[in-house]
């Protein structure tokens, strides 16, 4: 009886006497709703009770309290969970009246709930400890209920993905858990099921028989558990308002408080597919999706849509696009034609909405998507006024869209931010279109989502956030983050709360029942695989994307991909053994194993194919065993997709069916699986020799001999380098390795390559102590790989070794700042976060975005909305270049400073590796300033003609490469040089800087040269 003495609610299977209760509703707690409550709320309560059972093994009973005061079935409960919606629930009214609960911070709020544990409710028949959840509205109560699940450790994915919670015998809630929730940061928060064939479509046909309410029941639950409230249903072959069957989908959504929208081209509660079914020669809707030619039919089509669905809670799409994601008028229409047409459409639609939904248009959430071709209709051009500020758009939420690949396009300027109706953002975790589609499995980077969605919020886009999640499957993880950020912007936008930390916490929560080491490994896998997968989307990786040799790129990525696969295989084996079917395994499989193993397998497949080709191109026989690997990886891919069909009894059937290898076009058609290339080698004994990281090869024969150059030892941190000796014929080849220097040694000095030993890697080592004592510094150090064969062509591969002292050796001690990048080879490569100084100005400063981008991280100036048009000006040079920058703001600019030291003076290229973000305004400006030894250079990152869209370059290539390289050329000195980087416009996110002589282009690699040597921190 101890429990009753405190403010404490226990969710447990045990009765107060410590014995397990028996029977169906065998929990010690009883849920209580009030009469008048929303039916949807009660349905959600049932899901939460199920969660209690999932965790404790005991299913709580639920009873209804009415003003009559009678409750039945609650007598044996030891505590209560009382829930209800303010203004709807009789019991909440009663509790408030009795001042058991205080609704001051709840009433009138949006989607807010209070969570109050009381010693006893003071309600007759319920005089026991109670948790009282009072929601400000339907979703407030629902979120309050799901907050119980959260406290129970139940994942929002529990129903959708089978991510089952850890068992606990009892959960105790006390007044420490009391709180009042906040209003969500973003008003409409949701996702869009899209590109649903072949995966989602076949999945729902197979598991539910259609796009019906049986399926949507699960989708709605997923959305609400994630504290979302807004959904765009599947729309390519589905008709949400017809497939329920009938209105069942829409009715169920409304009951649950799920606000329905329709995608950007489906106005007035009509699905695009609907018209296809209803149109025809004799149709009352006519037979043309054309507001000019078939105004009457189209208007009636909309009218009937609003009549049918206007009663449900919706954000009604307005505007009009062509069918199937195309422009509304043909190619010959002028901008003005289009704008006039769209205005006419809006006027018509607003009229219909007034008539059939609500005469007060302000009460009707409406949305116009500024997607693709609609965007210019909104902005107009210099000759044609756009729809911006048009009375028909008053109160309409303007949905701005990113570029389908995760990068915001224009954002509201300060003057635009007051638009009544506010702004929305349509974001993508999945896309079907140019320059490439990404639909198979999650390749989203949380740091990138965070950076862009925070920017969106800061620029005032707070009314509506929707994200295209494709088939949902495997995108639940980034979706969690997206909806968390939308719900509680302050918490999740914090730069100190890294996405890596988020990932750890997310993993710990989802997989609480696993061992700590397993959870930690899962979090690590999620962080690592998404990093690799986002370097380039799975679908558009090709055998030549990464370089098979240069900078060791291929080997490095291959090793990481293999490690991730090994990690998830290990987890998979362990979990498969331990966990019974229908349990957490489905969650692990869908959220971790499948996307990580799947994407990393495609990556290793393409990397292996690239290596296979490179070897074969040089007649290197090591190409041949890679053919079997290519086959194996292709087979692994197929088996993975087949396995997914059967996991957890077919829970994910068809979800892996999207093509995902070797896209030649933006879509899967004509995709090319890697081929196997086999070489017979040369007729005579031959070797091919190269150094790790450098694709210069030498076969060492007289006429074509190439001297290889080894300069890696100039880097004081490198003491071992690998030499590759590969046979390029089926005949054995004996070699010996010699050097003229005692301080160079090898792990082997002779050997034989042959079909039995295709490739010999030889470690070359340096002894720096002996080097220091070398009395003959003028003699060029060299290594020779000599053929020692009776009948092979005479072979000698010469390797010159560069161990010249670094330029800092001749500088006075302490002249170089700690962290100076000192040249050791042909170039210097700097990760953006490795500046030596970070100087703020007027409250603005660069900050590091951890984990962002293709390599280490990135930096970006905050506040993110700030412009620094005067950054290029210097005191000494008042007439410094202004280029296309116009002064919106005259504050001084912050900067970061990098120190680097060169062997020789010369004209150097600075390749700035930038995130391929888009200019934030119609001015099309994206600028920064590079200052080299005091001389400022204002750089336009994109040309004035820059545009986003199908067939637009350089945008398309940058998007595919996930980088935009912007090069500045400047004269440098021998020895120390200082580079400062200033932001000018927003959307300047810097990942890396590569410095090399202007006349010495960098060898190809996908990631750019890896970071080079810098002096240690003092």
User: Total number of residues binding a second copy (CB under 8 A)?
Assistant: 34
Distance of CA 185 to the CA centre of its chain: 20
In the complex, what is the shortest distance from the CB of residue 795 to a second copy, in angstroms, rounded to a whole number?
10
**Which spans in 907-1010 are helix H?**
955-961
> Restricting to residues 563-622, which ones interact with a second copy according to CB under 8 A?
616-619
Select 447 or 470, whichever has its Cβ closest to a second copy: 470
Report the site for a second copy in 791-820 (rule: CB under 8 A): 793
Select 627 or 941, whichever has its Cβ closest to a second copy.
Answer: 627
Interface residue with a second copy among 292, 576, 678, 765 (CB under 8 A) is 678
The C-alpha atoms of residue 755 and residue 735 are separated, in whole angstroms, by: 15
- Under the binding rule (CB under 8 A), the answer on residue 695 touching a second copy is no
* Of 680, 718, 788, 935, the one binding a second copy by CB under 8 A: 680
* DSSP line for 802-852: --PPPGGGGSPTT-SPTT-EE--SSEEEEETT--SEEE-BTTBEEEEEET-
Contact map string, positions 903 to 942, toward a second copy, x by CB under 8 A: ----------------------------------------
**Sole window of 158-166, 327-335, 673-681, 944-952 interacting with a second copy (rule: CB under 8 A):** 673-681
**Binding region for a second copy (CB under 8 A) out of 225-233, 503-511, 586-594, 696-704:** 696-704
Are the beta carbons of 768 and 818 closer than 8 angstroms? no
User: What is the closest distance, in whole angstroms, from the C-beta atom of residue 205 to a second copy in the complex?
Assistant: 14
d(CA 574, CA 514): 10
Query: Residue 704 Cβ, how far from a second copy at the closest point, in Å?
Result: 4
Residue 627 beta carbon to a second copy: minimum distance, rounded to whole angstroms? 7
Q: What is the DSSP string of 743-799?
A: TEEES-SEEEEBTTB-EEEEEEEE-HHHHHH-S-TTSPPEEEEEE--SSSPP-EEEE
* Residue found by looking up tokens 């047409």 in the block: 341
CB of residue 632 to a second copy, shortest distance in Å = 12
Note whether 677 binds a second copy by CB under 8 A. yes
627 binds a second copy (CB under 8 A): yes
Binding flag, residue 875, a second copy (CB under 8 A): no
Q: Does residue 810 contact residue 770 with C-beta atoms inside 8 Å?
A: no
C-alpha 820/C-alpha 808 separation (Å) is 10
* Contacting residue, 288, 361, 682, 796, with a second copy by CB under 8 A: 682
Neighbouring CB atoms inside 10 A of 945's CB total 7
Is there binding between residue 681 and a second copy (CB under 8 A)?
A: yes
Q: Which stretch binds a second copy (CB under 8 A): 102-110, 256-264, 695-703, 825-833?
A: 695-703
Interaction between residue 673 and a second copy (CB under 8 A): yes
Site string for a second copy, 736-775 (x = CB under 8 A): ----------------------------------------
Residues constituting the chain: 1018
**Going by DSSP bridges, is the β-strand pair 29-34/61-65 parallel, antiparallel, or unpaired?**
parallel
Is 202 an interacting residue with respect to a second copy (CB under 8 A)?
no
Q: Nearer Cβ to a second copy, position 128 or 618?
A: 618
**Cis-peptide into 198, omega within 30 deg:** yes
Joined together, the tokens standing for residue 783 give 């290594």
Distances (CA, A) of 631 to 507, 540, 548, 679, 924: 34, 19, 19, 17, 47
Cα(690)–Cα(547) distance, integer angstroms: 14
Q: Which is nearer to a second copy, 351 or 433 (CB)?
A: 433
**What is the closest distance, in whole angstroms, from the C-beta atom of residue 211 to a second copy in the complex?**
21
Question: What residue has token string 């037979």?
Answer: 287
Neighbours of 842 (CB within 10 A): 12
| From candidates 659, 692, 903, 998, binder to a second copy by CB under 8 A | 659
CB of 470 to a second copy, least distance (A): 17
Q: Which stretch binds a second copy (CB under 8 A): 72-80, 667-675, 908-916, 961-969?
A: 667-675
- Counting contacts by CB under 8 A, is residue 634 touching a second copy? yes
The CA distance from 461 to 422, in Å, is 7
Among 207, 667, 739, 767, binds a second copy (CB under 8 A): 667
Site for a second copy contains 354 (CB under 8 A): no
Q: How far apart are CA 269 and CA 173, in angstroms?
A: 43
Q: Alpha carbon of 135 to those of 226, 247, 391, 412, 545: distances in Å?
A: 17, 27, 36, 33, 53
Based on the shown chain and the rule CB under 8 A, indicate whether residue 696 belongs to the binding site for a second copy: no
Answer for the pair 871, 893: CB distance below 8 angstroms, yes or no. yes
Among 415, 407, 413, 427, smallest CA distance to 942 is for 407
Q: Is 639 in the site for a second copy (CB under 8 A)?
A: no
Nearer to a second copy (CB atom), residue 559 or residue 673: 673
Pick the closest to residue 696 from 550, 598, 802 (CA basis). 550
Give CA–CA dist 496/828, Å, rounded.
30
Residue 866 CB, nearest distance to a second copy (Å)? 42
665 binds a second copy (CB under 8 A): yes
Shortest Å, Cβ 728 to a second copy: 9
**What SS3 class is residue 455?**
helix
The verdict on 785 binding a second copy (CB under 8 A) reads: no
Applying CB under 8 A, does 669 fall inside the site for a second copy? Answer: yes
Query: Which of 699, 959 has the CB closer to a second copy?
Result: 699
| 3-state SS assignment for residue 622 | coil
Helix/strand/coil for 565: helix
Exactly one of 176, 206, 355, 631 binds a second copy (CB under 8 A); that residue is 631
Q: Which is nearer to a second copy, 408 or 726 (CB)?
A: 726
Sole window of 420-428, 507-515, 570-578, 670-678 interacting with a second copy (rule: CB under 8 A): 670-678
Residue 157 near residue 584, CB atoms below 8 Å: no
Residue 701 beta carbon to a second copy: minimum distance, rounded to whole angstroms: 4
CA distance 112 to 110: 6
* DSSP string for residues in 81-108: EEEEETTT-HHHHHHHHTTSS--TTTTT
675 binds a second copy (CB under 8 A): yes
Q: Which position among 173, 532, 699, 708 is part of the footprint of a second copy (CB under 8 A)?
A: 699
Among 679, 711, 921, 1015, binds a second copy (CB under 8 A): 679
Q: Which of residues 435 and 851 has its CB atom nearest to a second copy in the complex?
A: 435
Q: Is 461 exposed, middle or buried (0-12, 13-18, 19+ CB in 10 A)?
A: buried
The only residue of 307, 684, 734, 973 in contact with a second copy, by rule CB under 8 A? 684
Compute the least distance from the CB of residue 432 to a second copy, in Å: 10
Residues 64 and 34 sit within 8 Å (Cβ to Cβ): yes
Distant-in-sequence contacts of 886-892, Cβ < 8 A, 24+ apart? 886/923, 886/925, 891/841, 891/842, 891/844, 891/866, 892/841, 892/842, 892/868
Q: Which stretch binds a second copy (CB under 8 A): 161-169, 344-352, 599-607, 700-708?
A: 700-708
CB of 642 to a second copy, least distance (A): 11
- Minimum CB–partner distance for residue 599 and a second copy (Å): 17
Stretch that binds a second copy, among 11-19, 277-285, 663-671, 805-813 (CB under 8 A): 663-671
CB of 355 to a second copy, least distance (A): 39
Could you give the CA distance from residue 478 to residue 487 in angstroms, rounded to a whole number?
A: 14
Sole binder of a second copy in the list 1, 19, 517, 703 (CB under 8 A): 703
Q: Which residues bind a second copy (CB under 8 A)?
A: 616-619, 623, 627, 631, 634, 638, 659, 661, 665, 667, 669-673, 675-684, 699, 701-704, 793
């Amino acid at each position: 009886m101890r429990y009753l003495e405190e403010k404490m609610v226990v969710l447990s299977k045990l009765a107060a006497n410590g014995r397990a209760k028996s029977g169906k509703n065998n929990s010690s707690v009883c849920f209580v709703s009030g009469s008048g409550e929303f039916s949807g709320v009660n349905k959600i309560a049932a899901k939460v009770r199920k969660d209690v059972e999932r965790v404790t093994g005991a299913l709580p009973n639920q009873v209804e309290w009415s003003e009559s005061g009678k409750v039945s079935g609650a007598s044996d409960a030891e505590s209560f969970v009382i829930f209800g919606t303010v203004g709807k629930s009789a019991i909440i009214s009663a509790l408030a009246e009795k001042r058991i609960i205080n609704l001051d911070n709840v009433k009138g709020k949006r989607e807010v709930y209070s969570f109050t544990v009381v010693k006893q409710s003071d309600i007759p028949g319920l005089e026991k400890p109670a948790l009282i959840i009072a929601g400000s509205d339907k979703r407030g109560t629902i979120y309050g209920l799901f907050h119980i699940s959260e406290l129970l450790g139940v994942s929002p994915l529990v129903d959708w993905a089978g991510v089952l919670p850890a068992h606990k015998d009892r959960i105790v809630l006390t007044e420490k858990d009391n709180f009042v929730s906040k209003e969500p940061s973003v008003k409409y928060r949701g996702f869009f099921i899209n590109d649903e064939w072949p995966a989602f479509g076949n999945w729902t046909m197979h598991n539910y028989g259609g796009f019906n309410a049986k399926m949507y029941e699960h989708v709605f639950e997923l959305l609400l558990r994630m504290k979302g409230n807004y959904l765009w249903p599947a729309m390519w072959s589905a008709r949400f308002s017809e497939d329920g069957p009938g209105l069942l989908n829409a009715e169920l959504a409304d009951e649950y408080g799920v606000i329905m929208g329709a995608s950007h081209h489906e106005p007035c509660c009509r699905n695009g597919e609907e018209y296809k079914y209803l149109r025809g020669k004799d149709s009352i809707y006519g037979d043309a999706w054309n507001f000019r030619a078939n105004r009457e039919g189209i208007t009636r089509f909309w009218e009937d849509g609003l009549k049918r669905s206007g009663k449900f809670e919706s954000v009604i799409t307005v505007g009009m696009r062509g069918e199937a994601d195309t422009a509304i008028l043909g190619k010959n229409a002028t901008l003005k034609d289009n704008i006039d047409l769209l205005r006419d459409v809006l006027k018509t639609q607003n009229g219909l909405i007034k008539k059939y939904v609500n005469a007060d248009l302000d009460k009707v959430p409406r949305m116009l998507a500024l997607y693709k071709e609609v965007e210019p209709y909104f902005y107009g051009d210099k000759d044609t006024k756009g729809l911006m500020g048009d009375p028909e758009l008053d109160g309409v939420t303007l949905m701005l869209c990113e570029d389908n690949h995760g990068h915001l396009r224009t954002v509201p300027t300060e003057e635009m931010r007051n638009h009544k109706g506010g702004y929305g953002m349509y974001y993508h975790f999945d896309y079907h279109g140019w320059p490439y589609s990404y639909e198979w499995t999650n390749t989203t980077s949380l740091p990138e989502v965070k950076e862009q969605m925070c920017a969106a919020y800061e620029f005032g886009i707070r009314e509506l956030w929707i994200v295209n999640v494709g088939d949902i499957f495997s995108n639940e993880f980034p979706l969690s983050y997206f909806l968390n950020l939308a719900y509680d912007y302050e918490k999740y936008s914090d730069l100190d709360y890294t996405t890596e930390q988020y990932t750890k916490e997310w993993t710990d929560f989802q997989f609480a029942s696993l061992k700590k080491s397993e959870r930690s490994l899962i979090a690590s896998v999620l962080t690592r695989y998404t990093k690799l997968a986002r370097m380039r989307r799975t679908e558009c990786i090709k055998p030549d994307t990464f370089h098979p040799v240069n900078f060791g790129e291929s080997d490095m990525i291959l090793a990481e991909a293999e490690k991730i696969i090994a990690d998830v295989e290990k987890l998979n084996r362990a979990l498969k053994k331990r966990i019974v079917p229908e349990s957490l395994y489905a969650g692990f499989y869908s959220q971790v194993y499948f996307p990580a193993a799947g994407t990393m397998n495609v990556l290793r497949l393409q990397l292996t194919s690239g290596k296979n080709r490179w070897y074969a191109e040089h007649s290197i026989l090591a190409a041949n065993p890679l053919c079997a690997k290519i086959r194996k990886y292709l087979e692994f891919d197929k088996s993975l997709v087949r396995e997914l069909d059967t996991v957890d009894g077919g829970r994910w059937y068809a979800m892996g069916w999207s093509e995902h290898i070797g896209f030649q076009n933006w879509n899967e058609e004509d995709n090319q699986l890697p081929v196997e290339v086999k070489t017979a080698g040369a007729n005579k004994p031959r070797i091919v020799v190269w150094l790790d990281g450098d694709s210069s090869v030498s076969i060492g024969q007289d006429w074509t001999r190439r001297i290889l150059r080894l300069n890696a030892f100039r880097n004081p941190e490198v003491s071992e380098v690998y030499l590759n000796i590969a046979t390029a014929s089926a005949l054995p080849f004996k070699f010996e390795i010699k050097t003229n220097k005692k301080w160079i040694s090898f792990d082997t000095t002779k050997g034989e390559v042959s079909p039995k030993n295709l490739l010999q890697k030889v470690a070359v080592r340096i002894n720096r102590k002996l080097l220091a004592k070398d009395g003959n510094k003028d003699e060029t150090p060299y290594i020779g790989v000599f053929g020692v064969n009776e009948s092979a062509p005479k072979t000698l591969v010469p390797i010159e070794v560069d161990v010249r002292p670094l330029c800092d050796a001749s500088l006075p001690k302490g002249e170089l700042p700690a962290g100076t990048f000192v040249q050791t080879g042909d170039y210097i490569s700097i990760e953006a976060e490795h500046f030596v100084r970070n100087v703020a100005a007027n409250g603005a400063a660069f900050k590091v975005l951890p984990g962002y981008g293709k390599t280490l991280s990135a930096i970006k100036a905050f506040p993110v909305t700030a412009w620094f048009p005067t950054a290029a000006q210097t005191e000494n040079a008042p007439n410094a270049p202004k280029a296309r920058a116009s002064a919106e703001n005259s504050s001084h600019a912050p900067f970061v400073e990098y120190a680097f030291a060169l062997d020789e003076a010369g004209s150097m290229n600075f390749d700035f590796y930038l995130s391929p973000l888009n200019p934030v305004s119609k001015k099309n400006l994206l600028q920064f300033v590079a200052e080299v030894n005091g001389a400022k250079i204002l750089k336009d990152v994109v040309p004035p003609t820059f545009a986003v869209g199908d067939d637009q370059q350089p945008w398309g290539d940058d998007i595919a490469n996930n980088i935009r390289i912007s090069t500045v050329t400047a004269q440098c000195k021998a020895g120390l040089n200082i580079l400062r980087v200033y932001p000018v416009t927003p959307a300047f996110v810097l990942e890396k800087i590569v410095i090399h002589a202007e006349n010495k282009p960098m060898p190809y690699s996908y990631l750019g040269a890896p970071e080079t040597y810098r002096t240690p921190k003092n």
